[in-house]
Structure 1
Amino acid sequence: MTTDTNLDIAALDTAHSLHPWTHFESFVRDGPLVIERGSGCSLWDTDGREYLDAVGGLWCTNIGLGRREMGEVIAAQAEKLAFCNTFVDMTNGPAALLSAKLADLAPGDLNHVHLTTGGSTAVDSAYRMVAYYQRCAGRPEKTQVIARDSSYHGSTYATISIGKRAGDKMPEFEYATKGIHHISAPDCYRAIGERSEAEFCDDLVGEFEAKIAEIGPEKIGGFFAEPIQASGGVVVPPKDYLKRIAAVCHKHDILFIADEVVTGFGRLGHWFASWDEFGAQPDIICCAKGLSSGYQPIGAMIFSDRIWDAMQGDRWYASGFTYAGHPVACAASLKNIEIIEREDLLSHATDVGQYFEDRLSVLEGLPLIGDVRGRKLMLCVESVADKTTKTLLPDHLDVGKRIADAAEARGLMVRPMGHLNVMSPPLVITKSQIDFIAETLEASVKEVTDQLVRNGERIG
């Protein structure tokens, strides 16, 4: 690409593209960062600058970018069969093979798969499945759902309504509220004071049981939970929380839906985290992102024998998507899973993930950093004005963006979210690259701290 072409891309994008989560004023002022190519954990912009992408795309480039064998399998499948719909009774080889593979990888009796186009449509499908299953099981009133504060479950009308992350509910949009309820996020950093972790867990489970009693167990059909709340702040629940919540769900015939769009396919060193990391058996797992490592858009809802059996009979399942089971996306996902297995990337993620935790934990010694949290290759740092009171800096200072900008100038991409900086690098990341992340982030935090103090902010 020539320099003129690069300039044209930026200009065309500014003039014509509406980006997800656009902030209009700053986008018009600053324009886009145009990325030209990627390899492994690195990205290059159109000026030739290299960045270590500690964001992993959007939690998704698990096997790394630029894999020739991925390109080859995508091209071969596109030439052989570029499209085949999967409505009613039609299928294709890659779709059937992927469904079987996902059933094999999923825990317990999750032996059935509804393929979708991404994470939002997987969770949207699960939301619809709640009412469908409960009505098939003879419980027609059991259609309401419970989710959690600080949750993010997607951006369809249904899923953005189920989620409750600060900054997602804009007054210009409309959201569904009827039949959607929320309980507290299991945020140990902000909630645990004089309470122990075990006492906090007791309180959370008690709140869930009280909410069910308040609404009526005969009306609640599903509970949605990310094993670790990702975009809501990398919130790791207290020990045994998910296991106990799942037990409450099963007691009241409430479907436990694990949103593993982020945590699936190795981010925590497991195919899926609900059972292997937290000991909670879900009724439904929603996945995407690492399913194809971002090489193709695809998602899946994996569900249990119990749900499948209840739906059988003289009825239609009238829900799905044109590109569900897309043969090219399914072929890419199968190759992606093969690579994860062949290169033992789950074990690698466990090893380097622990190293990542250890290296970033040092940042808690900085005056600006109140908390470093997460598991394995899913971490974030939280900036605070006061480490004792955990008071946040004013929103207008945009401290996360300041840190991200300072890091980007040093060749590192981290994701700013308010007062947080989130990292989810590819599973193939090396310990030397983790050293670079830790050292660069530390220098960036120190730079921003100095700027804030010079501007009269109290940090400590």
Structure 2
Amino acid sequence: MAAARDLKATETAGSGDAVELAKRHLVQPWPFAGSVGAEARALIGEGDGIYITDGTGKKLIDGPAGMWCVNIGHRREELARVMYDQAMALSYNTPWYTMNAPSAELAMRIAGYAPGDLSHVFFTTGGSSAVETALRFMQFYNNVRGRAEKKLILSRGGAYHGSTYLSASLNGRPRDRDWMDGADDLVVKLSSPDPFRRPRGMSISAFTDVLVDEFRDTVGRVGADRIGAFVGEPVQASGGVIVPPDGYLKRIRQICRDNDILYVSDEVVTAFGRLGHVFASGDMFGIDPDMITFAKGVTSGYFPLGGVIISERLLEQLRRSNHPDAMFGHGLTYTSHPVGCAVALKNLDILEESVLAHTREVAPYFQAQLKALEELPLVGEVRGLGLMACVECVADRESNDPLQLDKDVGKRIDAHCHELGLLVRPLINMCVMSPPLIITREQIDDMVSILREGISRTVDDLRKEGVWQG
């Protein structure tokens, strides 16, 4: 044991080689069995504004904004100072029987932006735990109301809602669940609201009707008395930035309301400025959910924090129930963390001062410049909203074949873009872009120019290898 400790101390103090240390000791998220525990990924050393610097010193545009989250950009001294000041004042308090002032103030400010009667906030550590909390609250709510059978959850193809057991059970992306277990007995899957994949010749209006009819028919077939919640992202982010047809979410919301099914709007990605508003549910889509989950942009990635906003109506029904001693037995060690909440308050100040308005101003330009990439032969569609977009590559525009011959086309494009000065988010045959919200028009031009060249080089590679002749 002593020898092992000495070896570890030597590696830590003397190696300095993060890549080698990662291969020896670090288990990366979402690994493949053939490389699990023996893998190193692209090393990022620094960040500044919309840029990051990799382990070789190359400066890159941070196309994904970390993971949809570095909304106000890297190296904001204001946030770093708040983090330090709060840690020096109060670094932690147990949420089981004490509270802190930043969490109370943040809950009030967040509630002020939420639609409808969403007025109370439960803070978590991130998006997965936020969705998990919403689902556990639904279960508790129905138990207290004597409806123990009303627990099924409706989700959709293309969805991503987290990595905890229950939240991951809702996921509907390709390959997410191939080798993983889930609470399949609790989840009913519906179709993805992806207009690009609608049947050939079908209008958007007809496609919307099909989706709504499927939802209504599922409620009728399964039974509203057995369905506790519907969980849906306003825009399916990791599923490929799927923007639903106009009016679809409002119609789904009404069916939920008519059948006493809790509507949970998963805004882990779309909240805190990504679409130009603090929350997109009401301001962009005209819906008032029963709960909204959030994370990522609430602190711009500077500190792990998430949460659930809960309808006053639901809480009032619990307070008036015949079981006042029923306990919502759910909480996290870092619920309402004072440092995270203090950072979120300052982050919200910065968003309010200029970033939200700037996002709404540059978003149409961002979308238009990316849309021009559709002229490239490999690109089937560019879609998006606000400062999030997806470039979907296809082998055949007639059939929209998603490049079955090369499922790593997104990684190919990312590799070329990395060499040229841009980090993208590759998703099989797609490239997702969601840069920091402070990006300028000139920087958008740089980003799109590099992405265009990266796609063009990938076309050349595929043709030379005989993989694709489009």
TM over 0.5: yes
- Whether 1:13 aligns to 2:25 is no
Q: Take 1:352 and 1:23, find their aligned partners in 2: how far apart are those partners?
A: 38
| TM-score (norm. length: structure 2) | 0.94
CA contact (8 A) 2:22 2:39 kept: no
1:48 — aligned with what?
57
1:140: Cα distance to partner?
Answer: 2.6
Counterpart position of 1:217: 224
Q: Distance in 2 between matches of 1:458 and 1:22?
A: 28
Aligned to 1:321: 332
Alignment of 1:130-169 (within 5 A): 130-169=138-177
- Supply the AA of the counterpart residue of 1:62: N
Pick which of 13-22 and 182-191 moved more.
13-22
Q: Distance in 2 between matches of 1:13 and 1:101?
A: 40
User: Which position in structure 1 is the counterpart of 2:392?
Assistant: 382
Q: What amino acid maps onto 1:127 in structure 2? A: L
Displacement of 1:191 in angstroms is: 0.7
Deviation (angstroms), 1:90? 1.7
CA contact (8 A) 1:109 1:305 kept: yes
Distance 1:304 1:58, change over 3 A: same
Distance change in 2, residues 1:354/1:114 (3 Å): same
2:435 maps to: 425
Deviations 1:271-296 (A, max 9, x none): 11111111111100000000000000
Q: Does 1:170 align with 2:178?
A: yes
Between the aligned partners of 2:405 and 2:466, the Cα distance in structure 1 is 16
- 1:330 maps to what in 2? 341
Cα distance in structure 2, aligned partners of 1:5 and 1:39: 28
2:99 is matched with: 91
Between the aligned partners of 1:418 and 1:228, the Cα distance in structure 2 is 19
Match of 2:46 in 1: 37
- Counting matched residue pairs gives 454
**449-458 or 333-342, which moves further after superposition?**
449-458
> Residue 170 of structure 1: CA displacement?
3.3
- Counterpart code for 1:23: F
- Which runs of no fewer than 5 residues in structure 1 stay unpaired? none
DSSP-derived class of the 2:457 partner: helix
The residue number in structure 1 matching 2:383 is 373
How far, CA to CA, are the matches of 1:420 and 1:7 in structure 2? 35
1:341 aligns with 2:349: no
* 1:240-296 Cα shifts (integer Å, max 9, x gaps): 000000000000000000000000001111111111111111100000000000000
Cα 1:397/1:198, change in 2 over 3 Å: closer
Tell me, yes or no, if the aligned pair for 2:23 and 2:39 is still in contact at 8 Å: no
1:459–1:382 CA distance, 2 compared to 1 (3 A):
farther
SS of the residue 2:185 aligns to: coil
The offset of 1:143, in angstroms, is: 1.1
TM-superposed deviation, 1:306: 1.0
Identity of aligned residues (%): 42
Residues 1:9 and 1:443: Cα distance change in structure 2 (over 3 Å): same
Query: Do 2:46 and 2:53's aligned partners in 1 also have CA atoms closer than 8 Å?
Result: yes
- Which residue identity lines up with residue 319 of structure 1 in the other structure? H
Selected match of 2:237 from 230, 234, 240: 230
Q: Which amino acid aligns with 2:447?
A: I
Given that 1:146 and 1:223 are in contact with CA atoms closer than 8 Å, whether structure 2 keeps it comes out as: yes
Return the alpha-carbon distance in structure 2 between the equivalents of residues 298 and 47 of structure 1: 31
The amino acid that maps onto 2:238 is: S
Per-residue deviation, 1:201: 0.7
CA contact (8 A) 2:127 2:162 kept: yes
1:350–1:376: 8 Å Cα contact kept in structure 2?
A: yes
In structure 2, how many angstroms separate the alpha carbons of the residues matched to 1:29 and 1:326? Answer: 33
CA distance in 2, matches of 1:270, 1:137: 35
| Alpha-carbon contact 2:271-2:294 (below 8 Å) kept | yes
Does structure 2 retain, via aligned residues, the 8 Å contact 1:6–1:46?
A: no
**Structure 1 residues 30 and 441: alpha-carbon distance in aligned structure 2, compared to 1, 3 A threshold:** farther
Aligned equivalents of 1:162, 1:30: Cα separation in 2: 28
The reply to whether residue 123 of structure 1 matches residue 131 of structure 2 is yes
Deviates more, 1:36-45 or 1:289-298: 36-45
Distance 1:17 1:64, change over 3 A: same
Contact 2:28-2:39 at 8 Å conserved across structures: no
- In the TM superposition, what is the alpha-carbon distance from 1:130 to its structure 2 partner? 1.3
- Give the aligned residue type for 1:72: R
One-letter identity of the residue aligned with 1:327: P
2:275 corresponds to: 268
Change in CA separation of 1:28 and 1:387 when aligned onto 2, cut-off 3 Å: farther
Say if 1:5 and 1:148 are closer, same or farther in 2 by CA, change over 3 A: farther
Q: Deviations over 1:419-455 (max 9, x none)?
A: 0100111110111111011110001101000111111
Whether 1:81 and 2:121 are equivalent positions in the alignment is no
1:154 Cα deviation (Å)?
A: 0.2
Partner SS for 1:218: helix
Deviations 1:24-79 (A, max 9, x none): 54688873222111111110123221110011000000010101111111001001
CA contact (8 A) 1:386 1:459 kept: no
Distance 1:397 1:239, change over 3 A: closer
Aligned with 2:260 (options 253, 263, 266):
253
Q: Matched residue of 1:108: which SS? A: coil
Residue number in structure 2 paired with 1:444: 454
> Which position in structure 2 is the counterpart of 1:106?
114
Q: Contact (CA 8 Å) 2:28, 2:37: kept in 1 or not?
A: no
